[in-house]
Amino acid sequence: MYALPNLVILVNGAAEGETELTAFDNALRKAGIGDLNLIRVSSIVPPGARVSPMPKIPRGSLTPAAYAKAVSSCPGQRIAACVGAGITPEGGVLMEASGACSAAELEERVRRMVEEAMHARGFLEYDLHLASAEHVVERVGSAVAAAVLWHDGATDERDVSKGGGK
């Protein structure tokens, strides 16, 4: 049983590690989500969801998230990750991108993707939120940006495994 998320938590982090996996893990920890079991989801914001700071989520929780990651072992390379949220009271979208570029370049790309996806859904006015991380690799580095979807229990809980309702 899953509660329909009503929070969108945007986080970012960048870090070094001895390996690509530990660099990614360290970037997740810097973002504040390194002790969660992330479940990668597609990019839909439920109706009524709002952007929120990170609540206290128990360690090891199964946690839906849309995320972008960049990992590199090329010293001196600039890497970045960005996630964007287009949000209306009726719902919205999440878009993510990563690559060997600056955070500013990715933010522009993600902004355009959010705009296209929102307009395709008929949402011409919406709030745009971005989170990005940029890192210049020293040895092995990673940058991550994520939109965590969570439910704070403040609204009607709906069991989405049964199509809604209590």
Active-site option among 18, 37, 90, 116: 37
132's tokens = 């990005």
Asked if 43 is an active-site residue, the reply is: yes
Q: Which residues contact 156 (CB under 8 A, 6 or more apart)?
A: 166
Active-site option among 6, 12, 26, 43: 43
Query: How is 1-67 classified by DSSP, letter by letter?
Result: --BPP-EEEEEEEEEE-SSHHHHHHHHHHHHT-TTSEEEE--SEEPTT-EE-------TT-EEEEEE
Active-site option among 42, 125, 138, 161: 42
Please name the residue that has the structure tokens 């993510």. 96
Q: Kindly calculate the radius of gyration of the chain based on its CA atoms and give it in whole angstroms.
A: 16
Amino acid at 147: A
Asked if 42 is an active-site residue, the reply is: yes
Active-site option among 12, 96, 107, 142: 96
Residues marked as catalytic: 37, 42-43, 96
